[in-house]
Amino acid sequence: MALMKREEWEGLVRDVDWTLSYADDDAVFPEWQSGTGKIPRGAWSAWEESYKISYPEYVSVQAEKEAAAFAVKAALQRSTIFSSLDEGWKSCAKLHFGAVSLAEYTAFMAEARMARFGLAGPWRNMAVLGALDEIRHCQLSLFFAHEFVSKDPQYDWALKAFHTNDWAIVSARSLFDAMMVAGNVVDTAIQLPLVFETGFTNLQFVGLASDALASGDINFANMISSVQTDEARHAQQGGPTLELLMKHDPVRAQWIVDKMFWLSARVFAVLTGPAMDYYTPLDHRKQSYKEFMEEWIIGQFIRTLQDHGLKKPWYWDEFIEGLDIWHHSLHLGVWFWRQTVWWKPQAGVSKAERNWLNTKYPKWEDIYGPIWDQIIANVNCGNMQATRPDTVPWLCNACHLPLCTYTSSPDGKYRVRDFPLTHNNYTYHFCSKVCRQIWWEDRDMLHVRTIGERLLAGEIQPSDLSGVLQYMGLTPEVMGDDAYGYKWATDYRELLGPESSQPRPNSVGGGEGIPSEALSIPINAKFGDDFVMHVVVVNTSDTMAEVAQRVAYHSVGKRVRSQDRDMVVYYEGRAVADNESVSQVGIGPFQQIFVDYASDSRKGR
């Protein structure tokens, strides 16, 4: 056989299988793992990958790639490239290392499960090589990041991040666990290789490698390129699996693709959107995040849908609208809660950068300009406390990202909304109708509590922001801060007037007091045109005037301009009298309220 040409024997050995004689097929391939569902057992013999490779060929190719990757790394170890890299770009690398390194190991577990429970011999063989790929990717990411730990402890989070309860990791981990570990292998083959790798990471890695080269980070570009070529090969497991599922159970196929594309896009918006539109130095940006998504991700996804006879997801218009919104809101949230992440967020709103954003995103100035103007004013007048949070944002029970998604209203305004759902006497909160629908359909599998829920349940002590940071594993030397030390804000100093040189106190008082434990309840609250909803603790005896003060304390003078006007509380779409108490109005724990200035209040904000 060793003397035969590969094409003479490969067709025979690639799909070697056998009929079990001393064990039941159902015991070896249980339904809850194999997930064949409506696909007949015999139909799996038609499974065929488009690109075939033998194990000797695989080893030869991988050895060459390993040698090339480590040769470049060794050559650069003696250089001074790291010290010359832009801080914004370093944040891109730290974010990637922390969010992806151990996700690669989770992908190994997914590939290993497909190698064990896949119902076709060729699929199992392909998955074995995929498992080896993912181990390699994990090792590469950890090894390349480790070199910089002595220079910057934030790089240590390449290994540490997934062992913490940082909110960003909780979000990523909930996605990857659902995608790679929780489901059967048929679902996994569609969710991971097809939707996530073919639809997102393969193309994103190509762009990331290009951006790394443009930023001068040859080492990172070299590593990413080496990983991407593996992904492109083993990602093909999804296509043949989807073909069989579409033939026998198209409804299931459509649902798997729809839900995983949405959840992947949500996490992509926080992992990739800010990196492309805010962290990458302006001179090195080749296209915006929206342009990248439209040209590469959407085009690829639509072709996949058409090739397999799938329909566009029911939420398609909302997803397209989100390309103008999601990552800007999430970036603003990451920057304001920068102490809660392991990288240094670059604000990315200098005058030149702001002009670029307005060119790429025509709605940006109307939605985000006033919020950044208030932050800039606080920075330039030395009121740094007003640029940091005193509470935590309310997080979505499906994607675990902050409730900060602007959506269009009938009057043309964009507003942040909450989409609650009460189930078994418990109110869950969601950033969108789509997340709410996904959670409802898969509610028996989605049990990860948000950081806010853990805080309110007493798991986090002390029950304040310092306790949250400790719970997340963040120490002072690792906590994020502005990448450029706020120097970008000096662009705007001349616009603020003479009073800007003096610190200004927060314009709203009375929010500091915490009500007695016996009478306090947590609520979900948002003020005016602020971009995010907060966890706010109120007393059941508080009047609505006092509740308004407590809510405003976390927004007014921080991200919303202070105004000399009365405030109004809205509950269940109606304005509530100032002298009514929380208990009289009937506001309970986890309920949602809106607060706004009286003459600018709108029903249902």
Domain 55-75+83-410+430-471 matches domain 517-600 at the CATH topology level: no
What is the pLDDT averaged over residues 288-300?
90
Q: How many CB atoms lie within 10 A of CB 18?
A: 6
Q: How confident is the model at residue 494 (pLDDT cuts 50, 70, 90)?
A: low
Q: How confident is the model at residue 98 (pLDDT cuts 50, 70, 90)?
A: very high
The yes-or-no verdict on residue 517 having pLDDT over 70 is: no
Nearest C-alpha neighbor of 508 from the set 546, 478, 553, 471: 553
Q: Quote the CA–CA distance of 113 and 111 in Å, as a whole number.
A: 5
What is the pLDDT averaged over residues 19-43?
94
pLDDT score recorded for residue 1: 59
The yes-or-no verdict on residue 13 having pLDDT over 90 is: no
The yes-or-no verdict on residue 497 having pLDDT over 60 is: no
Overall fold of domain 517-600: Ubiquitin-like (UB roll) (3.10.20)
In 3-state terms, what secondary structure has residue 86?
Answer: coil
Please provide residue 406's backbone torsions phi and psi, each rounded to the nearest 5 degrees: -75, 135
pLDDT score recorded for residue 440: 97
pLDDT score recorded for residue 505: 38
What value does the mean pLDDT of the chain take?
Answer: 90
All structural domains of the chain with their residue ranges: 55-75+83-410+430-471, 517-600
Q: In terms of C-beta density within 10 A (0-12 exposed, 13-18 middle, 19 or more buried), how is residue 373 classed? A: middle
Which residues 6+ apart lie within 8 Å of 585 measured at CB? 544, 571, 576
Of 3.40.1650.10, 1.10.1330.10, 1.10.620.20, 3.40.50.170, the CATH number of 55-75+83-410+430-471 is 1.10.620.20
What is the pLDDT averaged over residues 361-377?
96
Calculate the CA dihedral of residues 189, 190, 193, 199 and round it to 10 degrees: 180
Percent of the chain predicted with pLDDT > 70: 94
* Region of poorest pLDDT, from 11-25, 350-364, 429-443: 11-25
* Region of poorest pLDDT, from 8-17, 115-124, 166-175, 313-322: 8-17
Amino acid identity of residue 380, one-letter, is N
**DSSP character for 200?**
I
What is the pLDDT averaged over residues 407-425?
90
**DSSP character for 492?**
G
pLDDT score recorded for residue 601: 44
Q: Quote the CA–CA distance of 253 and 311 in Å, as a whole number.
A: 10
Q: Quote the CA–CA distance of 296 and 353 in Å, as a whole number.
A: 24
pLDDT score recorded for residue 510: 44
* Region of poorest pLDDT, from 191-200, 230-239, 318-327: 230-239
What is the pLDDT averaged over residues 323-346?
97
- Is 68 or 527 the better-scoring residue by pLDDT? 527
The yes-or-no verdict on residue 279 having pLDDT over 90 is: yes
- Is 519 or 135 the better-scoring residue by pLDDT? 135
Q: Quote the CA–CA distance of 181 and 185 in Å, as a whole number.
A: 9
Cis peptide bond N-terminal to 515, omega within 30: no
pLDDT score recorded for residue 2: 63
- Is 79 or 71 the better-scoring residue by pLDDT? 71
The yes-or-no verdict on residue 435 having pLDDT over 90 is: yes
pLDDT score recorded for residue 515: 41
Q: Quote the CA–CA distance of 165 and 452 in Å, as a whole number.
A: 12
What is the residue whose two structure tokens read 């010359």? 84
* Region of poorest pLDDT, from 85-94, 221-230, 579-588: 221-230
Q: How confident is the model at residue 519 (pLDDT cuts 50, 70, 90)?
A: confident
pTM score, whole prediction: 0.93
**Angle, in degrees to the nearest 10, between helices 218-234 and 202-214:** 170
Please provide residue 181's backbone torsions phi and psi, each rounded to the nearest 5 degrees: -120, -40
pLDDT score recorded for residue 506: 38
